[in-house]
Amino acid sequence: MSRKQIFTYVTLVIGLGAAGYLLYHTFREYSVSDIVESVAAIPVANLLMALLFAFGSYVCLSGFDWAGVRYVKNDLAYPKIGLASFIALSIGQSVGLSGLSSGALRYRYYAHWGMNTEDVAKIVLLSGVTVGIGMAVLSGIVMVINPSDAASVLRLSETAVIGIGVACLLATVGYLALAAFVRAPLKIRGWTFEMPTLKIAIAQVVIGTINFALVSACLREVMAASADVSYLKAATAFVLANLAIIITHAPGGLGVMEATVRHVMGDQASIGSLVAFRVIYFFIPFFIGLPLALIVEAVFRARKSRSGHGSSIDSHAMAKQPAAVG
């Protein structure tokens, strides 16, 4: 077993352990009936709006892959990009280690559609950069406009939090500047990387920011059913929860998301709202993406089988033809 595999397994075990502890700590005061009753108290209108925001987020996530595919100068049609993105991320975000799990699924699809390993690696890399940019922009906005909540959780002064927020926004501006002016390629182990064009970089900023804004809106919608929750505070809770998820590597942020949001929002985040958000944004896409992945895999195998069968028939027919007389 390689060191990389050992590190991956250790990280997964630690993440699962943290998730289990935080789930227990968050839910230990509630019975199953309490949780069911809390979820049932959320109006249908709020649940439908949360579903709409979640749907919008997954559309934006397909935009991450779209930017990556265009970055490698491939003209793959958007429906195929959207299919690969949804299956990869709906599964990857739930099982954990999203970069590895979703990257493997992306490779399966994009390689089937003619891309090589380097192109897929660049798509996954650019998608990860888009995640970072989107989170940086949203973090910068909430920390500058609403520093008090972040300061209380991070145990920093409001001035320091505002400084972090400004740094996040400046980093995004710096990324756009690099995209506009730096064209020199970077070679790593035979692969060549270069900055995306300014057009793609702007698309990354816009799509990435809108994505996380929609996820925050989804979270706020389920919480607003039982408390007067401002969008800004919900976005702050989401940003801080994601920072905690990055640190712990818990699969799908399980337990970490709930504990952090609960810590930031207090009683405004009912136990039902936390469960509803988990179901809407993670479980429902997962249980759609998993059978969809199996269907697509079956289609791929059927096409490969037909293609191989057709080739064998052609070869057999050619073998039966009489040799030409010279």
| CA atoms of 255 and 262, how far apart (whole Å) | 10
Burial class (CB within 10 angstroms; exposed 0-12, middle 13-18, buried 19+) of 10: exposed
Q: Facing residues of 191 across strands? A: 188
| CA atoms of 205 and 130, how far apart (whole Å) | 7
Per-residue pLDDT tens over the stretch 26-44: 555 656 787 788 888 899 9
Question: Which tokens in the block code for residue 295?
Answer: 């269907």
| CA atoms of 205 and 211, how far apart (whole Å) | 10
| CA atoms of 150 and 147, how far apart (whole Å) | 5
Quick check: 274 and 38 in contact, CB under 8 A?
no
High-pLDDT (> 90) share of the chain, %: 43
CA neighbor of 87 nearest in space, from 62, 111, 64, 69 = 62
pLDDT in the model for residue 268: 77
| CA atoms of 210 and 207, how far apart (whole Å) | 5
Q: Facing residues of 187 across strands? A: 192
pLDDT in the model for residue 259: 80
| CA atoms of 322 and 305, how far apart (whole Å) | 28
| CA atoms of 83 and 295, how far apart (whole Å) | 12
Per-residue pLDDT tens over the stretch 69-121: 999 999 999 999 999 999 998 888 877 655 556 778 888 899 989 999 889 98
Q: Locate tokens 């033809």: which residue? A: 321
pLDDT in the model for residue 326: 39
- Give the end-to-end CA distance of the chain in Å, rounded to a whole number: 60
